[in-house]
Structure 1
């Protein structure tokens, strides 16, 4: 089932397994959909270098949704948004732009006809505004936190568009570690403040707070001791498998927070 227009393509497919969904994400990355990429258990969102936005979602009913949107066109009368998050970063005037997302968790602004030197200057202004915690900067891209836990991401593409995304701090509470499902296959962390974002027979994901880089590395070592064979390990990221059907990732995402994701494909 599908619908198509000049601005948007929607495709809905039934009978798609999670492993097929995961394989399709890999194919989309090969096609260039890696800009501002965000992956959660059953969702993937990314842009390509020309500004097309791809949204993928897999449902427990084995329905698979594909949504592709054409590049947005900036409003010539664009005004800096009144959203409370917009006050956290320096205001940019005199640009065409659009507000793509504005809710209680995220504000995303896209500005057009921006030069690379303007992006670099804006990144410096944001650092001066306090986004210096766990900051990562590469030429025309930036990611960092302020002291209140707000996360700022800045990216730039070939269309001379600058994306400014501000995410609210993750709201965490005391959690109880599940005694069933994929969570029982990995070591129980010694930290109990977090947020469980998915807990199914086949998938488990959780954010844990108060976790330093040293805590991240110590937990990764425990996973290796548990029998997970390293696929890739870097300063902030670890991926591993256990047998052919169990996949694990552990990532330090900044502001003393890690996210753990585990999938048990035996359950499909």
Structure 2
């Protein structure tokens, strides 16, 4: 599954901003300031938007939301819409309290979103019987609900790649899928009709074929090199869909092979900006800085909430809040520097690792 920088960056910043709201409310409460949120009629009515908001907000659920017939209507106020197409709905609502979120989650399950369901501290993900995937992300402290709905991928019978790349890896069972791209020395494709058991068998087959060098593995992701430098990346996307990416051995850049001794001495010229280069692990510096800052921020949030839960009247929380505001600004700046295009496979693996660690960390303070 291709993970785009634009979507990931926006999602991380949205999560961090929501947590800043939580920290703000918590810090104020520790100072003895009680805050009450006025109830809004829009919470208990159909989706609505303030007239001053951008045209990304929708007043009529069934008329404006393309995939409105797939999921239940949300009782809340549209905050922002990122995608609204036949392939994907990505929308954020505000003024959704905890009971309304629970009711909405139940309504989604009643609509059939119970296949391969997963609940964690941030929300809920599942497929329905037709292959639509829903991902709910909810922050009770700020009453923000984000919905990401993806339509099933269109697939057909395919011929598995026959070039060098195709011969480098085992042949999978399924021939039903979608090819993103294919060349003699590389390809990227999705295969349907591949249950998790078949995915696991294919991972084992790749391991048996020698793809064990520098490997990384979790329950739904595997990547490794073989002794000749060929690279394979596997992912169980869900709903019986598997992704396979294969790339050839990397060739050294001839322009960098000339020795420093053969180069004439030159005065230092002003540095010019250039795209971040990947290190030995395959991670580009701008990407890694953004992800590490995000994880650090989330860890600090958990520490803050633990401190609050232990003593809600601790006045030092006010000082801590100011510190976290600075860290949020640093986080935002690092994401602004993240100029790389779509994540490569090593970065996708690191992205998944960070998300897993963050989710596990958030469980420590979940109610």
Shorter chain as denominator, the TM-score bin is 0.5 to 0.7
- RCO higher in structure (CA 8 A, sep ≥6): 2
1:226 aligns with 2:200: no
Q: 1:263 corresponds to which residue?
A: 247
Where in structure 2 are the equivalents of 1:121-140 lying within 5 Å?
A: 121-140=103-122
Which of 3, 14, 29 lines up with 1:51 in the alignment? 14
Instruction: In structure 1, list runs of 5 or more residues that go unmatched.
Output: 1-37, 54-73
- Larger proportion of strand: 1
Give the match's secondary structure for 1:217: helix
* Contact 2:158 2:176 (8 Å CA) reproduced: yes
Inter-CA distance 162–221: structure 2 relative to 1 (3 Å threshold) = same
1:134-185 per-residue CA deviation (whole Å, 9 max, x = no partner) reads: 1111133222111111111122468653221211111111101111143331
* Contact 1:202 1:265 (8 Å CA) reproduced: no
1:90 aligns with 2:72: yes
Inter-CA distance 267–201: structure 2 relative to 1 (3 Å threshold) = farther
* Contact 1:229 1:241 (8 Å CA) reproduced: yes
> How many residues end up aligned between the 2 structures?
209
Q: CA deviation at 1:94?
A: 3.7
1:196 aligns with 2:176: no
Q: 2:264 corresponds to which residue?
A: none
Q: CA deviation at 1:189?
A: 1.0
TM (norm. structure 1) is 0.67
Inter-CA distance 159–49: structure 2 relative to 1 (3 Å threshold) = farther
Which whole-Å CA distance do the structure 1 matches of 2:96 and 2:184 have between them? 46
Q: CA deviation at 1:245?
A: 4.1
1:103-138 per-residue CA deviation (whole Å, 9 max, x = no partner) reads: 221122211244455444422321121101111111
Which whole-Å CA distance do the structure 1 matches of 2:138 and 2:240 have between them? 27
- Based on CA coordinates, which of the two structures has the bigger radius of gyration? 2
Which whole-Å CA distance do the structure 2 matches of 1:49 and 1:194 have between them? 31
Which whole-Å CA distance do the structure 2 matches of 1:126 and 1:156 have between them? 14
1:161 aligns with 2:126: no
Cα RMSD, aligned residues only: 2.9
Q: 2:50 corresponds to which residue?
A: 76
1:45-83 per-residue CA deviation (whole Å, 9 max, x = no partner) reads: 303544289xxxxxxxxxxxxxxxxxxxx9425422533
